[in-house]
Amino acid sequence: MKRDYLRVFDFNKEEFLFLIKRAIELKSGKDYLKCPLIGKSIGMIFEKPSTRTRISFEVAIYQLGGHPVYLSPKDLQLSRGETIKDTAQVLSRYLNAVVIRTFSHNTIEEFAKWSDVPVINALTDLHHPCQAMADIMTILEKKGKIEGIKIAYIGDGNNVANSLIEASALAGLKINIATPHGFEPLEESVEKAKDLTEINLLNEPLEAVLDADVIYTDVWLSMGEERNAYKKEKFKNFQVNSDLIRHAKADAIVMHCLPAHRGEEITDEVLDGTQSVVLDQAENRLHTEKAILEFLLSL
């Protein structure tokens, strides 16, 4: 029976932790000659711009022996009104899995409903699950453990925040989310996470970072919101800077899923500083995506 990865909670705790362990093995070079995707073709439908997600998935598929088939909206009959149902059913006859980066989460859920092959979420408006898995892998690498680690997320309660909450819950991390009023994360993700870990919704960045092991932020304005001056004004006191991070633990690491709007949600000094692990975090997208592909296509 095919499985999809549309949100972090599509995996259980054991599966999620197994995939992180497997990603670390793949990063170490173990099984570098193993090609579990040989002879398989993976579709990549990208309706939104991408640097890290597109390239890491293409490389992951290639290094596992598969063939990535990149499809932009203009390449598909979806742009001329073909239904998601018809597209999903036809592509299922050609491909072994489909990676989708789109706007509405409803779109990928509808595609997965009609697809006979695994569907992987490469980002929607509500979830960014592949990013979250790489985040937890990075924390484990840098801290040597994940259970009990305290994360402070500062900024918009967006797709990155929703997936980070779910990943923290499965991995046993504590998490503080600091957002302006009205910009809180998805209530469903928060409520489910509360059954598994400690989560606090706050409105003060300083309160969130106290005694934190990890400080995480993302852009205030997502794709399509760049001209939202009102939202930008609401976030002006939510910048991750040197004054803020000194209230966390001395060995706290700083994370950002990139791309960053330097000088807005994070300063150059912090993003390029010694506590920043953003490049390792970006690299780990490659390894976790390999683990996800290997797992879903072996079922």
Q: What is the pLDDT of residue 1?
A: 86
Rg of the chain taking only CA atoms, in angstroms: 19
- 256 an active-site residue? no
Mean pLDDT on 64-83:
89
- In 3D, which of 19, 92, 13 has the Cα closest to residue 296? 19
Query: How far apart (Å, rounded) are the C-alpha atoms in residues 276 and 233?
Result: 26
Mean pLDDT on 183-190:
97
Query: How far apart (Å, rounded) are the C-alpha atoms in residues 104 and 110?
Result: 10
Q: Residue 137: what residue type?
A: M
Query: How far apart (Å, rounded) are the C-alpha atoms in residues 222 and 277?
Result: 22
Q: What is the pLDDT of residue 73?
A: 79
Q: Which of 257, 275, 281, 287 is catalytic?
A: 257
Domain ranges for the chain, please list them. 8-127+284-296, 131-282
Tell me the pLDDT band of 31, cut-offs 50, 70 and 90. confident
Q: What is the pLDDT of residue 72?
A: 85
The tokens describing 290, both together, are 């390999």
Q: What is the pLDDT of residue 79?
A: 73
Report percent pLDDT > 70 for the chain.
Answer: 99
- 272 an active-site residue? no
Express each pLDDT in 231-287 by its tens digit: 999 999 999 999 999 999 999 999 999 999 999 999 999 999 999 999 999 999 999
Express each pLDDT in 197-238 by its tens digit: 999 999 999 999 999 999 999 999 886 677 788 899 999 999
Q: What is the pLDDT of residue 153?
A: 98
- 131 an active-site residue? yes
Q: Which of 22, 54, 128, 256 is catalytic?
A: 128
Class of domain 131-282: alpha beta
pTM tops 0.85, yes or no:
yes
**Backbone dihedral angles phi then psi of residue 42, each to the nearest 5 degrees:** -115, 120
Q: Which of 105, 218, 239, 281 is catalytic?
A: 218
- In 3D, which of 283, 288, 296, 284 has the Cα closest to residue 19? 288
Query: How far apart (Å, rounded) are the C-alpha atoms in residues 282 and 215?
Result: 16
Q: Which of 22, 54, 101, 256 is catalytic?
A: 101
Query: How far apart (Å, rounded) are the C-alpha atoms in residues 35 and 26?
Result: 12
Rama region for 43: left / alpha / beta (φ>0; ψ in -120 to 50; rest): beta
Domains 8-127+284-296 and 131-282 alike in fold: yes
Q: Which of 7, 22, 131, 239 is catalytic?
A: 131
Mean pLDDT on 165-186:
97
Express each pLDDT in 81-132 by its tens digit: 899 999 999 999 999 999 999 999 999 999 999 999 999 999 999 999 999 9
- 89 an active-site residue? no
Q: Which residues of 172-187 are buried (b: 16+ CB within 10 A; e: fewer)?
A: bbbbbbbbbeebbbbe
Class of domain 8-127+284-296: alpha beta
Q: What is the pLDDT of residue 32?
A: 78
H or E segment to which residue 99 belongs: strand 97-101
In whole angstroms, what separates CA 1 from the centre of its chain? 25
Query: How far apart (Å, rounded) are the C-alpha atoms in residues 60 and 68?
Result: 9
First to last CA, the chain: 7
- For 111-252, strand residue ranges (E) read 119-121, 150-154, 174-178, 199-202, 214-217
Q: Which of 7, 105, 285, 287 is catalytic?
A: 285
What does pLDDT average to over the chain?
Answer: 96
Q: What is the pLDDT of residue 295?
A: 98
